[in-house]
Structure 1
Amino acid sequence: MLTVIQNLPDHVFGVRASGEVTKDDLKEVLLPGLESLANQYKEIYYLLVLDTDVQNFTAGAWVQDLIAGVKHFTDWKKMAIVTDQKAVEKFTDAFSYISPGEAKGYELRELQDAIDWLSIKK
């Protein structure tokens, strides 16, 4: 399930993933949030808090995630992935080398650091 994270700066869209994440979660929560942010600001500052294992994302969810990434490829400015899964955190840091924006991985205990980093516009 994806839930929108409240009380973030206006230019930041964030979601928390818990339990199983399906394509419907991405279609109903993630994609509309990214679309709204891109339309309003012409750039995306994104926070994902993973309170679930990435293996709990269904295949359909991964397809929708790929669609979102490609559709808004040039809009990405900053992306913070907050998780205690070291492989995901390392992948996120490496993703900065191939994406037009910056991506950083944070541990769950560093959630406020991730929000602070996203709060500063490039």
Structure 2
Amino acid sequence: MIEQIPGLPAGALGFRASGQVTATDYSQVLVPDIEAAFAINRKLRLLYHVGPDFTGFDAGAMWEDAQLGFRHFSGWDRVALVTDVPWMRVTATAMGFAVPAELKLFHNAQFDEAMAWISEPRPVDDDGNK
């Protein structure tokens, strides 16, 4: 199951994965929320929490995740992955160089730190844009 995490500022989305995550979870929750956010934001920040009750992704969910990432490949500003799942941490560490965003890993006990990091104000560039 995937549910949205409330309380993040504009331009940031958060999701919590628990139990078995399916393609339907992606198509009914995560994808519509992300597509709607990209319709009004050039860049997004993402907090993805995979908690201790997570049991896995089905193949369809993994495919949906890959498609979503490629569809908005350069649209991510920051991505915080909060998990203690060993294979996810290893994969994120190994593949982090391929993500065109600032990617940071947090343990479940650091959830509040991840929320704060995702919520930090964006720096203003030389043109006055965030």
Q: Name the count of aligned residue pairs.
A: 121
Give the deviation of 1:43 after TM superposition.
Answer: 1.0
Query: What secondary structure, in the 3-state scheme, does the structure 2 residue paired with 1:96 have?
Result: helix
Query: What secondary structure, in the 3-state scheme, does the structure 1 residue paired with 2:105 have?
Result: strand
Residue 45 (structure 1) aligned with residue 45 (structure 2): yes
Residue 79 (structure 1) aligned with residue 71 (structure 2): no
Give the deviation of 1:23 after TM superposition.
Answer: 0.2
Query: What secondary structure, in the 3-state scheme, does the structure 1 residue paired with 2:97 have?
Result: coil
Instruction: Tell me, yes or no, if the aligned pair for 1:93 and 1:103 is still in contact at 8 Å.
Output: no
Q: Distance in 1 between matches of 2:42 and 2:93?
A: 23
Query: What secondary structure, in the 3-state scheme, does the structure 2 residue paired with 1:74 have?
Result: coil
Normalization by structure 1: what TM-score?
0.90
Bigger Cα Rg: 2
Q: Distance in 1 between matches of 2:115 and 2:56?
A: 24
Q: Which runs of 5 or more structure 1 residues have no equivalent in the other structure?
A: none
Q: Distance in 2 between matches of 1:83 and 1:15?
A: 12
What does residue range 104-119 of structure 1 map to in structure 2 within 5 Å?
104-119=104-119
Query: What secondary structure, in the 3-state scheme, does the structure 2 residue paired with 1:26 have?
Result: helix
Query: What secondary structure, in the 3-state scheme, does the structure 2 residue paired with 1:47 have?
Result: strand
The CA deviation string for residues 5-50 of structure 1, in whole angstroms up to 9 with x for no partner, is 1111122111111111100100111111111221111112001110
Structure holding more helix per residue: 1
Instruction: Tell me, yes or no, if the aligned pair for 1:79 and 1:103 is still in contact at 8 Å.
Output: yes
Structure 1 vs Structure 2 CA RMSD = 1.5
What does residue range 1-122 of structure 1 map to in structure 2 within 5 Å?
1-51=1-51, 52-53=53-54, 56-120=56-120, 121=122
Structure holding more strand per residue: 2
Normalization by structure 2: what TM-score?
0.85
Rate the CA distance shift 1:116–1:95 in 2: closer, same or farther, 3 A. Answer: farther
Query: What secondary structure, in the 3-state scheme, does the structure 1 residue paired with 2:79 have?
Result: strand
Give the deviation of 1:116 after TM superposition.
Answer: 1.2
